[in-house]
Amino acid sequence: MRRLISWLIMVPTAVAVVVFALNNKEPIALNLWPFAIVIEVQLYLLLTAVLGTGVVLGGVVSWAGGGRIRSQLRKRSYEGEVARRELKTEREKITALQAELKALKGLHEHANDHVQEPDARTIEHSSSPGSAGQLPKPQNAA
């Protein structure tokens, strides 16, 4: 869409400039007042030069006016890059710490497995409710 609008503006403008140049070929006297110089130049060349100079000066003024904004954008871009690098290193640290935590959990579980094995070998004696703390009575074979 932008290209179409650009063409719709540029083509008629170019046609108008060409028609203007073809219709204004007669020379005019250009008096450069403080220097007392008189130059004869064709009208279309003079107007084209003035228009071109205006475009260039307007571009320079616009560029100079945006200097502060460009400076701020460079600063923000640098700060953003620093923040991205810090974020990357922090993520790497988190990944390393998570891996270390996983390894420590594995070691802890492995250590718990070894501690529970001796408990599994212990034999628990059940006692009857009335004989707590007493040895069983020997049976006589008669």
Per-residue pLDDT tens digits for 116-141: 555 455 555 555 555 555 656 667 65
Distance (Å, whole) CA 48 – CA 56: 12
For residue 109, the model assigns a pLDDT of 85
Distance (Å, whole) CA 107 – CA 113: 10
Distance (Å, whole) CA 41 – CA 93: 74
Q: Give this prediction's pTM.
A: 0.48
Give the residue, 20 or 125, on which the prediction is more confident. Answer: 20
Q: To the nearest whole number, what is the mean pLDDT of the chain? A: 84
99 has pLDDT over 90: yes
pLDDT by residue (tens digit) across 47-97?
Answer: 888 889 999 999 999 999 999 999 999 999 999 999 999 999 999 999 999
DSSP state of 130: G
For residue 32, the model assigns a pLDDT of 84
DSSP-based three-state secondary structure for 29: strand
Cβ atoms of residues 21 and 44 within 8 Å? yes
For residue 21, the model assigns a pLDDT of 82
Q: Where are the domains of the chain?
A: 8-65, 67-116
For residue 141, the model assigns a pLDDT of 58
List % helix, strand, coil for the chain (3-state, nearest 5).
75, 10, 15
Q: CA torsion angle for 23, 12, 62, 60 (degrees, to 10)?
A: -40
Cβ atoms of residues 113 and 105 within 8 Å? no
As a whole number of Å, the end-to-end CA separation of the chain is 117
Residue 138: in which H helix or E strand, if any? none
